[in-house]
Amino acid sequence: MKSSSPKCIPVVSTFASPFDVTPPSSDSTRKPLSLWPGMYHSPVTIALWEARSKIFESLLDPPKDAPPQSELLTRTPSHSRTTIFYPFSTDYILREQYRDPWNEVRIGILLEDLDALAGTISVKHCSDDDSTTRPLLLVTASVDKIVLKKPISVDTDLKIVASVIWVGRSSIEIQLEVIQSELDVDASPDSVALTANFIFVARDSKTGKAAPINRLSPETELEKLLFEEAEARNNLRKKKRGGERKELEHGEYNKLGGLLAEGRIFSDMPALADRNSILLKDTRLENSLICQPQQRNIHGRIFGGFLMHRAFELAFSTAYAFAGLVPYFLEVDHVDFLRPVDVGDFLRFKSCVLYTQLDKVDCPLINIEVVAHVTSPEIRSSEVSNTFYFKFTVRPEAKARNNGFKLRNVVPATEEEARHILERMDA
């Protein structure tokens, strides 16, 4: 993989190597990033800040009483298409910053990088290149899906390619592909290891209302196909939002009764309950934090990638504690960002194993739900900010070492839990 393209952003480690005693040259002095919001401890987000510093600085300091953009422009996907290049094979420190205990890339940090890159591309597409107009606020509205297609090694160079694939009146969808060559480059070409689709919405920075954004003109047949598929997904999302909660059909009602039957045995006759099952409430974990200024984005709100990172770490721990073996991440389902999170907010993450899928013995599935609550003790309130759904299985090498491995079935104790499980299965 090459990093010589003008739209390819090379990533370097952010710490000095412990083996390098050569003092840095004067021309390598970095701009003090600590003066900018959003230094998220990821080399990629720092590289993005540097590569887009002029755009971001104009957004941070717009002219007083600046008017909004007067005329919408038409952009092509190639206008904002950007590649992030990770030279893992040659940069020891960068490699160590991304390494997990299993010699693969840390998914939590990668989620931060994906959100940061998608945000940068949305800013570039929506900018009118006029420093006298009022900039738009662009916030992560949702993540359509993130799917891991193969393990991502931390010893092989990596790149993320991202571009705009769809634009509505005030929303924009970014598609990202994480690409990594096999170790034997001659035997296999570059292949996609992970895919993700992020949706951002534009708001007027003064009024806070939805604002129109630049149009998109797909050029190639693939770009046109991606636009049509994204348009169909957007229409489906609107339909789901407008629909009311449907009544259970006869077959679903029987499933609901079946789920609750075993839960009642746990509640009423725990000594007779199935030892291969466990109540949903007994799989719960929780952590909490105070949101810090270092975690904010250019608009002063907490960076969406940071929230995904923390949710993933809790989901992974929940799957680990439940399975008793090291879990292996598969995908993140659709995520809606319902409420912004501010600096100083008291954030609580609550997780549980929502249900398991045990029909495939070689690949049992663990479905984890993580709910982020913004808690305000002063006024005794708690609101849901985000709900995340992660899917894991068990690492094959861990399962091979434990021939007697078997996942337990998760059962609900209340009708509300049972209905929620059925809704997620249907989704």
For the chain, give every domain's residue range: 8-21+28-242, 250-426
pLDDT of 234 strictly over 50: yes
Mean pLDDT (the chain) is 82
Which stretches within 281-327 are classed as H helix? 304-323
CA distances for 397 relative to 283, 348, 366, 372, 409, angstroms: 24, 33, 17, 32, 22
User: Which value, in Å, is the radius of gyration of the alpha carbons in the chain?
Assistant: 23
CATH class of 250-426: alpha beta
Contacts of 67 (CB under 8 A, 6+ apart): 132, 133, 134
Q: Which pLDDT does position 423 carry in this prediction?
A: 87
β-sheet bridge partners, residue 374: 347, 383
Q: How far apart are CA 289 and CA 344, in angstroms?
A: 9
β-sheet bridge partners, residue 175: 163, 197
pLDDT by residue (tens digit) across 157-214?
999 999 999 999 999 999 999 999 765 444 355 689 999 999 999 988 778 888 999 9
Confidence of residue 263 (pLDDT cuts 50, 70, 90): confident
Confidence of residue 242 (pLDDT cuts 50, 70, 90): low
Q: How many percent of the chain have pLDDT more than 70?
A: 80
Q: How far apart are CA 199 and CA 336, in angstroms?
A: 9
Select from 291, 258, 252, 290 the least CA-distant residue to 274: 258
CA distances for 142 relative to 40, 119, 139, angstroms: 20, 12, 9
CA distances for 113 relative to 303, 311, 420, angstroms: 11, 15, 31
Structure tokens that stand for 69 in this block:
């953009």
pLDDT by residue (tens digit) across 325-360?
999 999 999 888 888 888 888 999 999 999 999 888
| Inter-helix orientation angle 43-51/53-60, to 10° | 80
Whether CATH 3.10.129.10 fits 8-21+28-242: yes
pLDDT of 119 strictly over 70: yes
Q: What type of residue sits at position 207? A: T
